[in-house]
Chains A and B, each alone.
Chain A
Amino acid sequence: MITEPTSKYLSNTVQSIQPSGIRRFFDLASSMENVISLGVGEPDFVTPWNVIEASYHSLEQGYTAYTANAGLFELRKEISRYMKRRFGVAYSAEDEMVVTVGASQAIDLALRAVLNPGEEVIVVEPSFVSYAPTVTLAGGVPVPVNTYSEDDFKLQPEQIEAAVTEKTKVLMLCSPNNPTGTVLSKRDLEKIAEVVEKHDLLVISDEIYAELTYDEPYTSFPAVKNMRDRTILISGFSKAFAMTGWRLGFACGPKTILQAMLKIHQYTMMCAPTMAQHAALEALVNGQKDVVKMKESYRQRRSLVIHALEEMGLSCHVPGGAFYVFPSIEKTGLSSEEFAEQLLMKEQVAVVPGSVFGESGEGHVRCSYATSVQKLEEAMRRIERFLKTL
């Protein structure tokens, strides 16, 4: 709780939100030397050169002004083609799309556009740390639904049924998931879709990791029967194209909702950064080969890490996507927070305690394998040594 005199100026809503548990680990890990970090939620690749170069070129050509609120029309047309080609969902570049400052802003816009005060949003946990606070800031009420390692952290349709009240409006989905890496199959999504339809819910589907799936072909939620017009699709360039720092994402969905989101965007952001939009355009037009290369490299490292964790006896479901593994550390008898802190202190390996992703993340830690093979192997040796001291 903030106690300085100026705290009286803060809104109650903001005061009700806790700073992310990730922050504390960041401070702790930043203060130490020789840390191998498996705590990074972003690619270890630098943005492909052709993308950087396209942005340079746009600057040289003097494209330094605002773009249309919804984003460069050329870019929206490419997004539209991309969504059709990769995921089989058609969105109009004219009025069913907005280019945003990261998927983060797209999520914020979506929630603000649809929520009335007190309306409930089902958040499937363990989840990306921003969902619940963003719901709260939009005036809604986040309702966590826990998923468990026994179910490979897959949301069970009955769980939605159990969580729905007359105030429920939105279900937030994220596949592949951060932090669990879990991918929902076509069949899983169809079962969820039935409940969604039955209760007339709107779905915000965060598919930012959609390109990074390693086992089965990916199904986008709006591609499921009858779901397109009750889904706001969230995606972006951060993960697949290694463009986190460019801050560029997008949302697609039914016109009425997207136009409402655009209204907020227009007043609060004007448009996403122009030079990043030019970069993103190049990424979509000529970037797929790099996506494939990076994905291949993540797949190999996933295999390396899963192997190593198995060898040291940390059980871990095989995550189908993203670049995270989420092993159980329950048998150590430590809480995830204690485990992460002691591992950092004793062996200088940073992982993120599962508890920061929601109650059901307890007993697990998130390890990102988006780090060099050499560092991953060293980190695995250190974790193994750490386990032996317990």
Chain B
Amino acid sequence: MNSTERELLQLIEKNGRLETATIAKLMGISVDETTRMLEKLEKEKVILGYSAIIDWTKGTEDGAVTAMIDVKVTPKRGVGFDKVAERIYRFPEVKAVYLMSGVYDLSVSIEGKTMAEVGRFVSEKLSTIDSVISTTTHFILKKYKHDGLVFSDNDEDKRIVVSP
């Protein structure tokens, strides 16, 4: 990855909705070049997708619950961590899976409508997988910051309108 690509990635990582023309101007390159670079990075799966960061606690009654589950696994011959992880991440309710160092092996984050729903998933789907030895479920009570964004930020411009 070269420095121009890195600059582009940093721009859209902060704001995935930046228009190509704006990116081009910010970087001082042509729109064509920007488009080509985006296509290349998408094709190489460096850019995996574009999504919005949403505060679901606002404006909806049907809130969601998120749980982070520490999963201990015994990898068996021919079934390494990757295979176990795959069995887990294929479930659509699983938002993230990471292989961890430390006292447990996989960190799984799950989103459901209610605690009961998440509980059902853990007891019926997750803990029944052969290689899974144990699970510890933590429910998220409140999100303060997610993916670098502070949820309650007061980011209005506090500067005086005209200054020397």
In chain B between 121 and 164, which residues have their CB closer than 8 angstroms to a CB of chain A? 157, 159-164
**B22 adjacent to A25 (CB under 8 Å):** no
- Complex: A178 Cα to B7 Cα, angstroms: 28
- Given A303-B26, A303-B27, A304-B26: A130 in contact with B164 (beta carbons within 8 A): yes
The closest CB in chain A to the CB of B157 belongs to A44
Q: How large is the interface on A (under 10, 10 to 19, 20 to 34, 35 or more residues)?
A: 20 to 34
What 5 A-B pairs have minimum CB-CB distances, sorted nearest first?
A: A39-B162, A300-B26, A26-B162, A303-B28, A304-B25
- Complex: A364 Cα to B103 Cα, angstroms: 65
When distances are taken between beta carbons in the complex, the residues of chain B under 8 Å from A39 are 161-163
Kindly state whether residue B11 has any CB partner on chain A within 8 Å: yes
In chain B between 90 and 137, which residues have their CB closer than 8 angstroms to a CB of chain A? none
In chain A between 113 and 135, which residues have their CB closer than 8 angstroms to a CB of chain B? 128-130
Kindly state whether residue B79 has any CB partner on chain A within 8 Å: no
Sampled A-B contacts (22; CB under 8 Å): A20-B164, A22-B162, A22-B163, A26-B161, A30-B161, A40-B159, A40-B160, A40-B163, A42-B159, A128-B164, A296-B7, A300-B26, A301-B26, A303-B25, A303-B26, A303-B27, A303-B28, A304-B26, A308-B25, A352-B162, A373-B22, A373-B26
- Complex: A148 Cα to B163 Cα, angstroms: 23
Kindly state whether residue A80 has any CB partner on chain B within 8 Å: no
- Complex: A30 Cα to B160 Cα, angstroms: 8
- Complex: A300 Cα to B28 Cα, angstroms: 8
Q: How large is the interface on B (under 10, 10 to 19, 20 to 34, 35 or more residues)?
A: 10 to 19
Kindly state whether residue A41 has any CB partner on chain B within 8 Å: yes
Kindly state whether residue A350 has any CB partner on chain B within 8 Å: yes
Chain B positions within 8 Å of A, measured between CB atoms, are 7, 11, 15, 18, 22, 25-28, 157, 159-164
B100 → chain A closest CB, angstroms: 27
- Given A300-B11, A373-B18: A41 in contact with B163 (beta carbons within 8 A): yes
Kindly state whether residue A224 has any CB partner on chain B within 8 Å: no
Q: Tell me if B's interface is mostly helix, strand, loop or mixed.
A: loop
**A350 adjacent to B161 (CB under 8 Å):** yes
**A35 adjacent to B164 (CB under 8 Å):** no
Kindly state whether residue A381 has any CB partner on chain B within 8 Å: no
The closest CB in chain A to the CB of B159 belongs to A40
When distances are taken between beta carbons in the complex, the residues of chain A under 8 Å from B160 are 26, 30, 40
**B25 adjacent to A307 (CB under 8 Å):** yes
When distances are taken between beta carbons in the complex, the residues of chain B under 8 Å from A300 are 7, 11, 26-27
Kindly state whether residue A290 has any CB partner on chain B within 8 Å: no
Kindly state whether residue A282 has any CB partner on chain B within 8 Å: no
Kindly state whether residue A359 has any CB partner on chain B within 8 Å: no
- Complex: A308 Cα to B28 Cα, angstroms: 11
When distances are taken between beta carbons in the complex, the residues of chain B under 8 Å from A37 are 157, 159, 161-162
Most chain B CB within a 10 A radius of its CB, from A40, A301, A371: A40
B10 → chain A closest CB, angstroms: 8
- Complex: A377 Cα to B157 Cα, angstroms: 17
With contacts A30-B160, A37-B161, A129-B164 known, what are 5 further pairs, Cβ within 8 A?
A22-B162, A22-B164, A26-B160, A37-B157, A350-B162
- Complex: A188 Cα to B123 Cα, angstroms: 74
A300 → chain B closest CB, angstroms: 4
**B26 adjacent to A42 (CB under 8 Å):** no
Kindly state whether residue A29 has any CB partner on chain B within 8 Å: yes
When distances are taken between beta carbons in the complex, the residues of chain A under 8 Å from B26 are 300-301, 303-304, 373
A307 → chain B closest CB, angstroms: 4
